A and B are shown apart, each in its own frame.
Chain A
Amino acid sequence: MTPRGVDFDPLDPLTRALRQLPEPRAPQTLAPRVMAAVYARLAHPPARTWFEWPRVWQVSSAAGVLAVLVGMVLVWPMAVALLQPAVDEMSARAVAVVHNAELTLSIAGVFFRAVWFPLVVPFLAVVTVMTIACATVGAMLDRVALGGASR
């Protein structure tokens, strides 16, 4: 057989030799390993996608999904009417909880501002100044009166 688009002489020794090459034989191990894989596949078939389902299953599943959608559209107003009181009650409770939280936070803020700035800040300032003063006096005493004996 002459390949298409060939410009090699079919009588060329290399072309003839290539044509006459014997077909390599499959190893003895190929068929057993393929069949082992086949039996494993049969034992645990992979899940098929929707596109690979039988036609009947595809039609049935599509009809089921459609029925669910139609049902939801029809039932939706009824469900809203049924659930509306419960939703209103829950939202009222949530509003109350949020309101209480706001109130608690504002009281905590007032308390914080009332205690922190008038009392805690001056106290911390006094403690800091006194600490520095004590350290300074201690250092002066150590150097002048005790002559650095502590070192």
Chain B
Amino acid sequence: MTDARAFEAFLLEYQDMVYATALRLLGNPMEAEDVAQTVFMKAFERFDQIGTSPSAPGWLKTVTTNVCLNHLSRYRNRWRFFSELSRADAHAVDSWTSGPQDSGTPGPRDPNTALDEALMKLPPHQRVPIVLFHFDDLSYQEIAERLGVSVGKVKTDIHRGREALRAVLR
């Protein structure tokens, strides 16, 4: 039987990495926590194999990414529908240009916080490729294969997402 204490140590060591990956891909803390739990339960099922393996972080990251993409694919139709609407993109850029609407507190803000919030608020079809590109170091081709879209669409979405984020930095 798996040692629960050993697994708890494993969990405490990697929970930030798994949660961060899920949060950046999903943009929703509640869903990220659910996904993190799912990933760790999968890890628990094969803890005998990965518990002491040096490839555990990579395994966790890959499984987290896959679970998140599966989660998002449930909304793929809506995602594709909105991704075709250039108006939505324009609106997103406008909203970032004018700053986050729910900040509530006037005055200078931490650029990291603003950028993080802007990244979370990007539509999934822009946020996911940007996260896979900048945080998981996947190539355009790999992202296109993972998402089941064309390389051109990946480039376009990353470009538009970056433009929206760049507006926050200005």
Contact = CB atoms under 8 A, between A and B. Distances in A.
Interface of A: 1, 3-6, 8, 13-15, 17-27, 29-31, 33-35, 37-39, 41-42
B87 to A, nearest CB: 24
Given A4-B137, A33-B37, 7 more contacts: A5-B141, A17-B112, A17-B169, A22-B112, A30-B33, A30-B37, A34-B41
Contact of B162 (A1, A14, A23, A27): A14
A35 B169 CA distance: 40
A24 B44 contact: no
A41 to B, nearest CB: 7
A18 B8 contact: no
Contact of B19 (A13, A17, A24): A24
Interface residue SS majority, chain A: helix
Interface residues on B, range: 35 or more
B72 interface: no
Nearest to B33: A30
Given A14-B166, A34-B11, A21 B16 contact: no
17 contacts: A3-B134, A3-B139, A5-B139, A6-B133, A17-B115, A18-B115, A18-B119, A23-B16, A24-B16, A25-B20, A26-B16, A30-B36, A31-B8, A31-B11, A33-B37, A37-B37, A38-B8
B12 A21 contact: no
Contacts of B40: 34
B44 A3 contact: no
A143 B40 CA distance: 97
